[in-house]
Structure 1
């Protein structure tokens, strides 16, 4: 996957491809992890408003646009708007960090994590681990991973498009999710005051 000429060495190229496969495998794992849970608790709210599919589309779109912008199909002026070569290593590091954050966040929530926005009667508000600092670390991980791919490919237009699309899509999802959480957890407003939404000390 990707063009070997976009990287400094064959090793760098293969590491990028391994990380890309890890990203895809991690998302497949999360998909089946959330689907395989037994439905033992009664759901009292399943308000999603299509945001699950919005995130799916954003994930696919961001990967496609990252590769499209560096392909021969892209106009020359887009294809050649690139960052210095060392950004490939920075991008790959960001991909790895993003994957780890997302997996850790999902495993911290355990049964409470779902791809749908839903609340069950036995659900509790999780505020430990990474959730002590940010309210949506799983989304932080996704955004970092997608940005990491575009940064590793060093294409400036792709980075901007991925950043804007991911921020907009995840902001829509978060708005829906937090509306439900505020409705069923009285302590959520206090939790919001003590934490950041996605990135510690930034947002």
Structure 2
């Protein structure tokens, strides 16, 4: 008997993986093709750009302008605080409740003024004297939160100590600023708050 030999099928071979960084030809983007697409869509691109620009201009025009009022305070001079440096008042017989203020320096007075400028008391005084509650909320009712309205006003006032620029006087300064839609009103508020802080110092 003869044994029939069956042909053996060779094992399947796996193709070698493409080298790293290889991209098929169809995935490559030609700059020329990209340019042609942009040229075809140029009207759409220019149109969208023009619409966005016009919209931004219209939005800027319809918005109410915002003004900023700012005042800067310089440190007091020695002559300004001379009246505070009362010599020989302590120990005066026959005067009760009078204490001399000795050793008051420019720095201590300026620090106290900055603290008063940032405190609520001068701002609350200006808020009430100028009737700002009626100005800021003319349509308020009995349910309006007056404390919240004042807190908003208080936060709108900003105190800063800007650093002098190169070539300018190196004396420390304190700035009080406020932003708003009425330039005359915010300028008056800033000046009045500064005056109240000076009186409290």
What is the TM-score normalised by the length of structure 2?
Answer: 0.23
Q: Give the structure with the higher percent strand.
A: 2
Q: Give the structure with the higher percent helix.
A: 1
What is the TM-score normalised by the length of structure 1?
Answer: 0.23
Select the structure of larger CA radius of gyration.
2
